[in-house]
Structure 1
Amino acid sequence: MSSAIQLSKRFREVMLDGLWIANTNFKDQLSDVTWEQAITKIGSLNTIAMLAFHIDYYIAGVLQVFEGGVLEIKDKFSFDLPPVESQEQWEKILNKLWADSERFAELLEQMSDNKLSEVFVDEKYGTYQRNIDGMIEHCYYHLGQITLIKKMITHP
């Protein structure tokens, strides 16, 4: 199995369907969260909606590069979630997250192992491999936060 396919499986595990590392994934954790829960603020923590938006912001930004575009994302904008005021708006955020995640995984599967060792956009960012590994680790980090915040909201 190629390295790209292995990375794609790891990415899908954290985002869409895996149970191996955390015994859960984004889709599993967010599937029953209402929009009211998603925007519930607990102290100084980010909301679930903000974290879902934040992760998709980075997935979509890197996906743009995978599709031949330029890297336009900026850290300072990664939490700029527009107000979520309905279940429909929340579901739109989730549907974008699932679609971007699936497309990211599909394009990753098609990468050659040589591509993984190439520079990602600029030498300061390292290789494609490093950025994909970082994306997976970043997703797990925020999955843990979402899981804890969800427990605080649903089991106060």
Structure 2
Amino acid sequence: MPFSIFMPMAGSPLPPLLGRILNQIHEPQDPSFDCVCHTDRYHTNSCSWSHCPMTLPLEIDLAAFDTMEDAVLVDCRTPEERLEAAIADQAFVPMDEASSRIEDFKSWEDQGTVVIYCRSGRRSLNLTVALREAGVENVCSLAGGIQGWISEGREVQSGS
């Protein structure tokens, strides 16, 4: 299996991030120490540590999306959800096909930041984490998904 979009189950060993955070509480900040917020699959939306190499947050809001020059918008919802409403000029990769289409995401990454959306932002955030684990770095999730898009009065298509 190339990657998983699911988090560890209850009862699993503690994630590596927790141990690193606990160590950092008791040790002085060392510039050579990797940023704890961007290890493995455990990412945060932003990092205040100045040595952190991560510049693109895991999730962006509509205001940040509006400032992007070369964004490739990808809908990860089901075909049935797309019939209700879709954002114009976007690619479509249903969540259940994403693991077999990594190369598509990598080619879109060469064109600009890949911005993934779903209905509310939850599935797209999980997919963003999984894609970063699979080596697609220039990818983020659109906070609020298409519901947030519509609630701000932005244009959508129906029946696509």
**TM-score where L is the length of structure 1:** 0.29
Q: More relative contact order in 1 or in 2 (CA 8 Å, sep 6+)?
A: 1
Q: Would you tell me which structure has more helix in proportion to its own residues?
A: 1
Q: Whose radius of gyration is greater, 1 or 2?
A: 2
